[in-house]
């Protein structure tokens, strides 16, 4: 049975179907030695090459894998950063077939649940608005929140890129005198900075934003920031069912691997801390060099200062020697 070429590439973990279409249009993909075009279909025994490299998916079965990552603030949702800043891909495990694809994005100052998968079709469906996969956020809002504002946010507010609304808003208990209030909000799409812009439309400011749920998956509370877990088969199939994909029957991980015991938590925290230290040290060499110059300057000045008193003491002793000779 033949499948569309972009679907085969997406299922192999190279990216979303839309991204694979651009690869095909760009002449990066060939089938049986001929450059492919949009609309091509392939059989299981066809030889597919990307940038001249043969895809070996037919020789080795590719399992659908999903990671749950607890993103800290300050990390970029991109594979590489020209400025050398930390990205959400830095600490992910290596993968033999395909690559990790981020399911949606979180902006630099947003933390919480971020999913990764090697299944391009699953990633594309989870992100597509037509599937209306619900996202839940914990939001700390600065300002005086009035009931009329909450009604508007649930009814719909007009943003630069269209109307947006929360499907639910739940206020959490807080100090009545505090200017900050915590809410849990849900929505069924993921536009750029959508949650922040919606609150800003009411003259309010979001001072903290954490994604706590994506679809039926809730962020594991014990998972430290910067840590990841590979999801078991049951959770993967719950995600697949939510976007009308058939269930997987096999997985690469054991049931025990998805559990967070004390040993695994300690190992994970040490690994995260080690990565943060290494990331911080990337920007230190130049500082050390400047500090070294400053230190050497101080040493030279100090040495000159210590030498000058000797000269003065020597000049002070000469008259004494002369007076002694006179005696």
Q: What is the DSSP letter of 130?
A: G
Euclidean distance between CA atoms 159 and 177, whole angstroms = 31
Q: Which of 252, 26, 222, 221 is nearest to 117 (CA)?
A: 252
Residue 213 C-beta-side C-alpha neighbours within 13 Å: 14
CB of 24 within 8 A of CB of 36?
yes
CB of 220 within 8 A of CB of 214?
no
Euclidean distance between CA atoms 130 and 299, whole angstroms = 68
Euclidean distance between CA atoms 153 and 187, whole angstroms = 11
Euclidean distance between CA atoms 86 and 16, whole angstroms = 24
Euclidean distance between CA atoms 203 and 111, whole angstroms = 23
Give the number of residues written for the chain. 327
CA dihedral 246, 252, 257, 258 (to 10 degrees): -20
Residue 119 C-beta-side C-alpha neighbours within 13 Å: 23
Euclidean distance between CA atoms 99 and 277, whole angstroms = 26
Euclidean distance between CA atoms 200 and 210, whole angstroms = 17
CB of 89 within 8 A of CB of 100?
yes
Residue among 107, 144, 161, 261 flagged as catalytic: 107
Residue 90 annotated in active site: no
Q: Which of 8, 14, 66, 15 is nearest to 252 (CA)?
A: 66
Measure Cα distances from 125 to 10, 64, 183 in Å: 11, 14, 28
List active site positions. 107
């Amino acid at each position: 049975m033949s499948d569309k070429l972009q679907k085969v590439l997406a299922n192999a973990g190279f990216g979303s179907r839309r991204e694979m279409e651009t690869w095909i249009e760009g002449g990066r993909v060939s089938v049986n030695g001929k450059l492919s075009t949009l609309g091509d279909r392939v059989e299981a025994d066809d030889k597919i090459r990307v940038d001249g490299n043969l895809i070996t998916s037919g020789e080795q079965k590719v399992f659908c894998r999903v990671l749950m990552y607890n993103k800290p603030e300050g990390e970029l949702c991109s594979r590489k950063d020209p400025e050398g800043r930390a990205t959400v891909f830095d600490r992910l495990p290596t993968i033999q077939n395909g690559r990790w694809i981020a399911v949606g994005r979180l902006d630099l100052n947003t933390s919480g649940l971020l999913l990764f998968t090697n299944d391009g079709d699953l990633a594309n469906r989870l992100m597509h608005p037509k599937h209306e996969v619900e996202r839940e956020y914990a939001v700390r809002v600065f300002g005086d929140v009035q009931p009329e504002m909450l009604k508007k946010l649930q009814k719909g507010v007009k943003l630069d890129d269209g109307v947006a609304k929360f499907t639910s808003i739940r206020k959490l208990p807080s100090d009545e005198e505090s200017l900050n209030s915590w809410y849990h909000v849900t929505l069924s799409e993921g536009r750029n900075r959508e949650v922040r812009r919606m609150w800003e439309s009411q003259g309010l400011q979001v001072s903290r934003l954490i994604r706590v749920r994506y679809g039926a998956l809730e962020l594991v509370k014990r998972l430290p920031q910067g840590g990841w877990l590979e999801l078991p088969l049951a959770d993967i199939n719950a995600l697949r069912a939510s976007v009308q994909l058939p269930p997987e029957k096999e997985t690469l991980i054991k049931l025990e691997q998805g559990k967070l015991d004390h040993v695994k938590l300690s190992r994970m925290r040490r690994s995260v801390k080690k990565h943060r230290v290494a990331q911080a040290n990337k920007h230190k060499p130049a500082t050390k060099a400047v500090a070294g110059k400053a230190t050497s300057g101080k040493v030279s000045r100090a040495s000159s200062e210590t030498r000058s008193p000797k000269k003065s003491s020597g000049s002070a002793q000469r008259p004494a020697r002369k007076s002694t000779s006179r005696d």
